[in-house]
């Protein structure tokens, strides 16, 4: 039920953000209610998701030409609306899960690593 509620919130968020606003174009395949920041594309086959006795573990990667600062700003504005409590620029908590965002810059752009694990 909580997943469904978060999914509905995500869709409402997309509909409410106007065309002039930064908005998510897609969601991670490995975690259905985690949006991709504008300018990012999920790296095919990079996502893993499995349940452990202590909770779900998810890892996924996205890449794009966006700036790391813009990506982090997008998640700082978006994730709290999806129930994630911000604990730092790259750390969020929701229910019994922790989300970490790690960026790596190279000549081709930014790679963003999403890691979700139980508390």
pLDDT digits over 82-115, tens only? Answer: 999 999 989 999 999 999 999 999 888 999 999 9
Q: Which two tokens stand for residue 95?
A: 């229910």
With vertex at residue 82, the alpha carbon angle to CA 81 and CA 84, rounded to the nearest 5 degrees, is: 95
Q: Please name the fold of domain 40-118.
A: Ribosomal Protein S8; Chain: A, domain 1 (3.30.1370)
The pLDDT tens digits of the residues spanning 53-65 come to 888 899 999 999 9
Pairwise CA distance, residues 43 & 63, whole Å: 7
pTM, to two decimals: 0.76
Pairwise CA distance, residues 117 & 56, whole Å: 6
Secondary structure class of 56 (helix, strand, coil): strand
């Amino acid at each position: 039920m909580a997943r469904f509620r978060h999914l509905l919130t995500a869709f409402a968020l997309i509909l409410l953000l106007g065309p002039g606003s930064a908005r998510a174009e897609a969601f991670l395949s490995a975690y259905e209610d985690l949006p991709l920041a504008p300018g990012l594309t999920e790296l095919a086959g990079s996502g893993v998701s499995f349940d452990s006795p202590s909770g779900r573990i998810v890892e996924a990667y996205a890449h794009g030409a966006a700036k790391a600062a813009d990506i982090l700003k997008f998640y700082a504005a978006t994730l709290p609306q999806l129930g994630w409590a911000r604990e730092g620029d790259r750390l969020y908590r929701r229910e019994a899960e922790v989300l970490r965002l790690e960026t790596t810059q190279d000549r081709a752009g930014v790679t963003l690593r999403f890691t979700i694990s139980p508390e």
